Amino acid sequence: ATFGSLSTRLTETLAKLRTKGKLSAADVDGTVREIRRALLDADVALDVVKSFTAAVRERALGAEVSEALNPAQQVVKIVNDELIAILGGDSRRLELAKTPPTVIMLAGLQGAGKTTLAGKLAKHLRAQGHQPLLVASDLQRPNAVTQLQVVGSQAGVQVFAPEPGNGIGDPVKVARDGVAEAKRRQYDIVIVDTAGRLGVDAEMMKQAANIRKAVQPDEVLFVIDAMIGQDAVATAKAFQEGVDFTGVVLTKLDGDARGGAALSIRGLTGKPILFASTGEALDDFEPFHPDRMASRILDLGDILTLIEQAQKAFDEEEAHRLAEAIATDGFTLEDFLKQMQQLRKAGNFKQMLGMLPGAKGMREAIDSFDEKELVRTEAIIQSMTPQERKQSKILNGSRRLRIAKGAGVTVTDVNQLIARFDQAAKMMKTVAKGGMPNMPGMGPM
């Protein structure tokens, strides 16, 4: 997972402090040294590492730690604060034009994930009620236009592309025509996909700069693969000089990358990270929040993103109905089934589990989590009669046996499911009453 080893090393380093009451200067120095090594091994740019560790050291030696009730926890807080700072502090949203259409241009190396991102962004914006148009200005890579058409149709948005068979078109003209088309047809957002090369080269930069000049975008998003390690420095600088950009999108944050690019990019360019891409599917995408990312790195959990992802999966009406059902004590197996189905719709279940606090400690359990389990659970509930789904109390031995047979599972499986359901129902009741369910590992901070 993202920041896997960095995260492990930071949490282990900080955990070591926990056994100490007061922290000596030597303790602080030792901790800072380990943090420094962990960051360097994660390919974080040297300048960023230096300023980060200097800030942590200064604060950790100061009064806020020596006077803290729990010095070790105060150091965790400091590291968390400073991580948030290097990730950009506050989150920043897309800047929309006062007079539509808002023009968003994507730039970056080939393979960075621009075309995929165009689809993700379009889908995200459409879900917010916008009408985006995708413009295929990547005429360099064979298939780039077709690929954009594919993601466009997956995202349910239109794609403006050059007519096929006209030889190699002019990407600047396509971009300009695309924006004109958007104005004419009243799209309120235009996303211009541009060409990249495998490495930085002058001609590509010139083309991107020309497209920028031609369409005067409101946002130029530099798309960078989080896995490229130390190359991130040179690539980001080249794009900043060549085209310049207003914001950054990190892609492939799901990979087993060391994640250095993610932690360096803000410090190197001074530009905010707007979005993160975490997989190949269109839904593997989220607005970037420095504070949430920091707590994920320190394994403090990312409950907010988790909740948002869950909300994305639940359709509003259904959620409303569910909430009402629970409030009136009527949470049934039928509701449970619907929840299950919506969870599966949410897509990457493992990824969501990974956002729970303390998830790193449950890595094995999460890795062994089998999505087939959800399918089996669905099968069991589907083998119940409507009456049984409404009133789980009537599920006696012979009914359970019949259900097990129908679903092709053992009676133990059925029993376990019903036990889990009873537990969930209890938790639902707590939530409905305004309480917080007990989450593993979420001690007071």
Within positions 274 to 303, which residues make up the interface with ligand GDP, using CB under 6 A? 277-280, 284
Taking the complex as a whole, the smallest distance from the CB of residue 108 to ligand GDP amounts, in Å, to 6
Taking the complex as a whole, the smallest distance from the CB of residue 337 to ligand GDP amounts, in Å, to 31
Select the span of 114-122, 162-170, 294-302, 395-403 touching ligand GDP (CB under 6 A).
Answer: 114-122
Taking the complex as a whole, the smallest distance from the CB of residue 285 to ligand GDP amounts, in Å, to 8
Cα–Cα distance, 230 to 23 (Å, whole number): 34
Residue 152 assigned ligand-binding role: no
Residues whose CB falls within 8 Å of the CB of residue 100, separated by 6 or more in sequence, listed in order = 186, 187, 188, 189
Select the span of 109-117, 299-307, 406-414, 432-440 touching ligand GDP (CB under 6 A).
Answer: 109-117
Is 255 near ligand GDP (CB under 6 A)? Answer: yes
Taking the complex as a whole, the smallest distance from the CB of residue 145 to ligand GDP amounts, in Å, to 11
Cα–Cα distance, 109 to 181 (Å, whole number): 27
The helix or strand, by DSSP H or E, that contains position 285, with its residue range, turns out to be strand 285-287
Instruction: Kindly tell me which of 286 and 388 has the beta carbon lying closer to ligand GDP.
Output: 286
Burial of 128 (0-12, 13-18, 19+ CB in 10 A): exposed
Taking the complex as a whole, the smallest distance from the CB of residue 357 to ligand GDP amounts, in Å, to 24
Taking the complex as a whole, the smallest distance from the CB of residue 352 to ligand GDP amounts, in Å, to 16
The helix or strand, by DSSP H or E, that contains position 403, with its residue range, turns out to be helix 397-407
Cα–Cα distance, 61 to 53 (Å, whole number): 12
The DSSP output letter for 68 is -
Instruction: Kindly tell me which of 60 and 135 has the beta carbon lying closer to ligand GDP.
Output: 135
Beta-carbon count within 10 A of 423 CB: 10
Interstrand relation of 189-194 and 219-225 (parallel, antiparallel or unpaired): unpaired
Is 112 near ligand GDP (CB under 6 A)? Answer: yes
User: What Å distances lie between residue 90 and 80, 83, 84, CA to CA?
Assistant: 14, 12, 8
Is 251 near ligand GDP (CB under 6 A)? Answer: yes
Select the span of 103-111, 122-130, 259-267, 398-406 touching ligand GDP (CB under 6 A).
Answer: 103-111
Is 115 near ligand GDP (CB under 6 A)? Answer: yes
Taking the complex as a whole, the smallest distance from the CB of residue 190 to ligand GDP amounts, in Å, to 17
Structure tokens at 221: 């998003």
DSSP alpha helices (H): ranges in 186-302?
202-215, 231-242, 260-269, 290-297
Residue 441 assigned ligand-binding role: no
Specify whether the CB–CB gap between 263 and 48 falls below 8 A. yes
Select the span of 45-53, 173-181, 273-281, 371-379 touching ligand GDP (CB under 6 A).
Answer: 273-281
Residues whose CB falls within 8 Å of the CB of residue 37, separated by 6 or more in sequence, listed in order = 9
Q: Which residues pair with 192 in a beta bridge?
A: 105, 135
Instruction: Kindly tell me which of 283 and 335 has the beta carbon lying closer to ligand GDP.
Output: 283
Taking the complex as a whole, the smallest distance from the CB of residue 286 to ligand GDP amounts, in Å, to 11
With CB under 6 A as the contact rule, the residue among 100, 111, 347, 441 that binds ligand GDP is 111
Cα–Cα distance, 136 to 153 (Å, whole number): 13
With CB under 6 A as the contact rule, the residue among 101, 113, 162, 171 that binds ligand GDP is 113
Is 131 near ligand GDP (CB under 6 A)? Answer: no
Select the span of 41-49, 106-114, 184-192, 410-418 touching ligand GDP (CB under 6 A).
Answer: 106-114
Instruction: Kindly tell me which of 278 and 332 has the beta carbon lying closer to ligand GDP.
Output: 278
Residue 269 assigned ligand-binding role: no
Structure tokens at 69: 């009730």
Number of residues that bind ligand GDP (CB under 6 A): 18
| Cα 422 off chain centre by | 32
Taking the complex as a whole, the smallest distance from the CB of residue 121 to ligand GDP amounts, in Å, to 12
x/- binding map, residues 155-194, to ligand GDP, per CB under 6 A?
Answer: ----------------------------------------
Q: b/e per residue, 262-276, with b = 16+ CB within 10 A? A: bbbbbbbbebbbbbb
User: What Å distances lie between residue 11 and 299, 360, 373, CA to CA?
Assistant: 7, 9, 31
Binding residues, by number, are 108-115, 193-197, 251-254
Residues near ligand GDP (CB under 6 A) are 108, 110-116, 196, 251-252, 254-255, 277-280, 284
Binding residues for GTP, by number, are 108-115, 193-197, 251-254
